[in-house]
Amino acid sequence: MAEADPGALNTEQENRLRDWKIQTRISNESYLRSHQEVGVLLSAFIREVLLNRPENIREFAAEYFTDPTLAATIREKMRADGGDSEEQ
């Protein structure tokens, strides 16, 4: 990641950027709290990656996320964890 250019933004721009970053983070956290299936989905994917250690991660991810049984698998994991199983 490139280093910040301290003179690129004036004070007002820096404040607006900081506020935008804060609001974006709040919005993202709110979304993730209301969609617990996202966390379950990502945790399950990372678990499979670490168990299988695929050489071609892109191919593995494509196969994982296009699996026709994925939605049912995630719903079952949410049920087993006591989470909400309702589809959003």
CA 61 to CA 45: how far, in whole Å? 8
Angstrom CA distances, 23 to 28, 32, 39, 43, stand at 8, 14, 21, 25
CA 68 to CA 65: how far, in whole Å? 8
- The tens digit of pLDDT for each residue in 25-60 reads 999 999 999 999 999 999 999 999 999 999 999 999
Q: Which helix (H) or strand (E) holds 4?
A: none
Is 87 inside a domain boundary?
no
Amino acid at 34: S
Is 2 inside a domain boundary?
no
Is 27 inside a domain boundary?
yes
Is 19 inside a domain boundary?
yes
Structure tokens at 45: 């994917």
| pLDDT above 90 (res 88) | no
Is 28 inside a domain boundary?
yes
pLDDT category of residue 83 using cuts at 50, 70 and 90: low
Is 88 inside a domain boundary?
no
Number of domains in the chain: 1
Is 72 inside a domain boundary?
yes
